[in-house]
């Protein structure tokens, strides 16, 4: 399995959803960086299960146990390793999945790829549970970026057909990003939150699930970071974002909407403000030719509906080699989108720090 990402700062995520523990190793961190453990705990709490009515009732503290790489609250320059114990597992709920794969999950292709030896309990290494160590790694990288004037925040842009107010692409206040990145269900318009919650509850009561979109922004990013072709902002960000379970699409700036515009509409006109080059619009999402323009980086990540639903579904029996019916047991989110916000922010922090000269 390929669970290592990055060049300057590498992360390696390990563990399974129902194993003894999950964790991450960060290699290449600069030495002497002070860590705010309360700030790390806040991000871990935003992602953690069992904290909101829209989430799975599985409860895990997700408190990271740092076993190397930190001394007296500062990074040492050695690999930083953090462990999170799995304490609330019900592995018996997944016994039937060894032979009857869940539609929408990785069960069947993983069965082929790993010869049936993959851990299906809770999704094993394919589980969204593995986003906990990703959030930890991102929380560490976020602090390093913050000291260099960079802020990251996101909101639930949509759940099903319920939409929040989008970011103003060229003017995103730091205090808004700070507020959004500190709450469990981040939205700009509070009325949208209630509509989203109602939609999620309707799906839950129908033994179903819904997906949605996270919109993320980074401000204070200097111009001139990145490069053309394969090492630019978009490909580097996308490669880690698509490593988040359930992400099915990523777009930057105007994204697919740019295909409907004329060049005169899509081009972001330049101007000077106090000697700094800015653009009057930001359809490019702060990126041209894979390189930052100095405007906010704005992107959106689309999440599919949670595939584990309580409704009876059609599947196959891999042992009997016949069609079969499947009832999925266990505890699952009717919508993962709000819990995905800190994961998207974490991925953005890790991606950007790998493109910067620290």
How confident is the model over 186-201, as pLDDT tens digits?
999 999 999 999 999 9
C-beta of residue 236 within 8 angstroms of C-beta of residue 250: no
**Residue 331 — pLDDT band, cuts 50, 70, 90?**
low
* pLDDT for the residue numbered 2: 72
158 annotated to a ligand binding site: no
* pLDDT for the residue numbered 327: 85
* pLDDT for the residue numbered 83: 96
User: Token pair for residue 342?
Assistant: 């800190």
* pLDDT for the residue numbered 171: 95
Q: Which residue has the tokens 């895990």?
A: 60
* pLDDT for the residue numbered 74: 97
Q: How far apart are CA 302 and CA 247, in angstroms?
A: 6
Sheet with 4-5: list strands edge to edge. Answer: 4-5, 10-15, 21-27, 80-85, 65-68
pLDDT at residue 50 above 80?
A: no
Q: What is the mean pLDDT of residues 289-293?
A: 98
308 annotated to a ligand binding site: yes
Q: Is 201 left (phi over 0), alpha (psi -120 to 50) or beta?
A: alpha
pLDDT at residue 7 above 60?
A: yes
Classified as helix, coil or strand, 111 is: helix
Identify the sign of the CA torsion 274, 280, 284, 285: positive
Alpha helices in the chain (DSSP H): 37-47, 107-113, 131-146, 174-180, 190-205, 233-241, 263-266, 337-353
306 annotated to a ligand binding site: yes
* pLDDT for the residue numbered 61: 67
Q: How far apart are CA 82 and CA 65, in angstroms?
A: 5
79 annotated to a ligand binding site: no
User: Token pair for residue 333?
Assistant: 């989110």
Q: How far apart are CA 274 and CA 304, in angstroms?
A: 44
| Choice between 89 and 37, residue whose per-residue pLDDT is larger | 37
pLDDT at residue 88 above 90?
A: no
User: Token pair for residue 347?
Assistant: 């991925």
User: Token pair for residue 201?
Assistant: 């509850």
**Residue 123 — pLDDT band, cuts 50, 70, 90?**
confident
Q: Which of 66-80, 241-255, 307-321, 333-347 has the weakest average pLDDT?
A: 307-321
Classified as helix, coil or strand, 44 is: helix
Q: What is the mean pLDDT of residues 247-252?
A: 98
307 annotated to a ligand binding site: yes
173 annotated to a ligand binding site: no
* pLDDT for the residue numbered 317: 93
Residue 312: name the closest of 129, 107, 89, 96 by CA.
96
* pLDDT for the residue numbered 52: 65
β-bridge partners, 119? none
170 annotated to a ligand binding site: no
* pLDDT for the residue numbered 106: 87
pLDDT at residue 117 above 90?
A: no
Q: How far apart are CA 169 and CA 301, in angstroms?
A: 16
| Choice between 127 and 335, residue whose per-residue pLDDT is larger | 335
Q: How far apart are CA 345 and CA 352, in angstroms?
A: 11
* pLDDT for the residue numbered 328: 84
CATH of domain 4-353: 3.60.150.10
273 CB-near residues (< 8 Å, 6+ apart): none
* pLDDT for the residue numbered 95: 67
* pLDDT for the residue numbered 266: 98
47 annotated to a ligand binding site: yes
* pLDDT for the residue numbered 343: 98
Say what percent of the chain tops pLDDT 70: 93
CA atoms within 13 A on the CB side of 247: 23
The domain locations on the chain are 4-353
C-beta of residue 241 within 8 angstroms of C-beta of residue 301: yes
| Choice between 232 and 50, residue whose per-residue pLDDT is larger | 232
C-beta of residue 310 within 8 angstroms of C-beta of residue 207: yes
Rounded to 5 degrees, what are φ and ψ at 268?
Answer: -95, 110
125 annotated to a ligand binding site: yes
pLDDT digits (tens, 9 = 90+) for 149-176: 999 999 999 999 999 999 999 999 999 9
211 annotated to a ligand binding site: no
**Residue 55 — pLDDT band, cuts 50, 70, 90?**
low
121 annotated to a ligand binding site: no
Q: What angle do CA 303, 304, 306 make, to 5 degrees?
A: 110
Say what percent of the chain tops pLDDT 90: 75
* pLDDT for the residue numbered 254: 97
Alpha helices in 58-125 (DSSP H): 107-113
* pLDDT for the residue numbered 299: 98
Q: What is the mean pLDDT of residues 130-155?
A: 97
Model confidence pTM above 0.85: yes
Q: What is the mean pLDDT of residues 38-48?
A: 95
């Amino acid at each position: 399995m390929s669970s290592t990402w990055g060049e300057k700062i590498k992360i390696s995520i390990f563990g399974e959803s129902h194993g003894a523990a999950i964790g991450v190793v960060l290699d290449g961190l600069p030495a002497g960086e002070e860590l705010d453990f309360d700030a790390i705990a806040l991000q871990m709490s935003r992602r953690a299960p069992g904290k909101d009515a829209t989430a799975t009732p599985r409860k895990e503290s997700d408190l990271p146990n740092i076993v190397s790489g930190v001394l007296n609250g500062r990074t040492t320059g050695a690999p930083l390793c953090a462990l999170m114990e799995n304490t609330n597992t019900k592995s018996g709920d997944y016994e039937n999945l060894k032979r009857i794969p869940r539609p929408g999950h990785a069960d069947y292709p993983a069965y082929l790829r790993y010869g049936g030896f993959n851990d299906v309990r809770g999704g094993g290494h394919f589980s969204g549970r593995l986003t906990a160590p990703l959030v930890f790694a991102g929380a560490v990288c976020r602090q390093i970026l913050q000291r260099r004037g960079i802020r990251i925040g996101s909101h639930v842009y949509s759940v099903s057909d319920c939409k929040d107010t989008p970011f103003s692409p060229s003017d995103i206040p730091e205090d808004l990003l700070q507020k959004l990145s500190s709450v469990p269900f981040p939205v700009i318009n509070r009325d949208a939150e209630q509509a989203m919650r109602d939609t999620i509850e309707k799906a839950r009561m129908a033994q179903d699930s819904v997906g949605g979109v996270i919109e993320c922004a980074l401000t204070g990013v200097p111009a001139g970071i990145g490069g053309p072709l394969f090492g630019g902002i978009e490909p580097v960000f996308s490669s880690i974002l698509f490593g988040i379970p359930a992400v099915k699409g990523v777009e930057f700036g105007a994204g697919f909407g740019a295909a409907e515009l004329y060049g005169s509409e899509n081009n972001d006109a330049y101007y000077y403000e106090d000697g700094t080059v800015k653009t009057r619009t930001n359809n490019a999402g702060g990126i041209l030719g894979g390189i930052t323009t100095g405007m906010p980086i704005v992107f959106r990540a689309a999440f599919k509906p949670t595939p584990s639903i309580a409704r009876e579904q059609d599947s196959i029996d891999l042992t009997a080699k016949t069609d079969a019916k499947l009832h999925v047991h266990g505890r699952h989110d009717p919508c993962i989108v709000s819990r995905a916000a800190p994961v998207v922010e974490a991925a953005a922090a890790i991606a950007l720090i790998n493109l910067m000269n620290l």
